[in-house]
Structure 1
Amino acid sequence: MQAIHLSTARRILQAPEPVSLRVWAKDGRILEFNNAIPLRYNFYEGTQQFKLLASQQIRTIRLACLFELNGMTVFL
């Protein structure tokens, strides 16, 4: 399995291409999102918005909680 730095993951998320990602939730659960389109990045809060194609929901995640992007491990 490959590993990428968080800054590389942010560059991947700049393109509006569908991605799959896994993040830790506030309560410690692991959330998995497939076919998510990256929308807005907020530098000051460290968050990124995604639109889930299956349910049409808009979700906001903290990028520090991102640990897998397109099957690659993300490290800080």
Structure 2
Amino acid sequence: MAQSIHINTMREMLKAGDPVDITLWTKSGQIQRWRNCISLRYDFYKGVRRVKLLDSRQIRTVRDVCIFEINNLTVFL
């Protein structure tokens, strides 16, 4: 059975600064899996997070509510 965590627990995991694997929905509705990434900055008022992909060194922006899995743990609201 898959384990699940609350979105606040996910935020604490990202805040810790350790590399994680996340699965998310994009703006176009596609599902992407980002491996080995860290959170750089979080804007509480916009709900947007800047994430750095360590393998490619790209910096991307994602909304927290679009992340539905972190380290193979399902995220719920």
State the TM bucket, normalised to the shorter chain: over 0.9
Q: Who is 2:49 aligned against?
A: 48
Q: AA paired with 1:72? A: L
TM normalised by structure 1 equals: 0.96
AA aligned opposite 1:68? E
> 1: CA distance between counterparts of 2:18 and 2:63?
19
SS in 2 for 1:13: helix
In percent, how many aligned pairs have the same letter?
50
User: By how many angstroms is 1:47 displaced?
Assistant: 1.0
Deviations 1:17-73 (A, max 9, x none): 100000101111001100001110110110111110111000110001110000000
- Alignment length, in residue pairs? 76
Name the SS of the counterpart of 2:15 in structure 1: coil
The equivalent residue for 1:20 is 21
Aligned-residue Cα RMSD (Å) equals 0.6
SS in 1 for 2:11: helix
CA–CA distance in 1 between the matches of 2:5 and 2:58? 27
For structure 2, the 5+ residue unaligned runs are none
The one-letter amino acid of 2:25's match is W
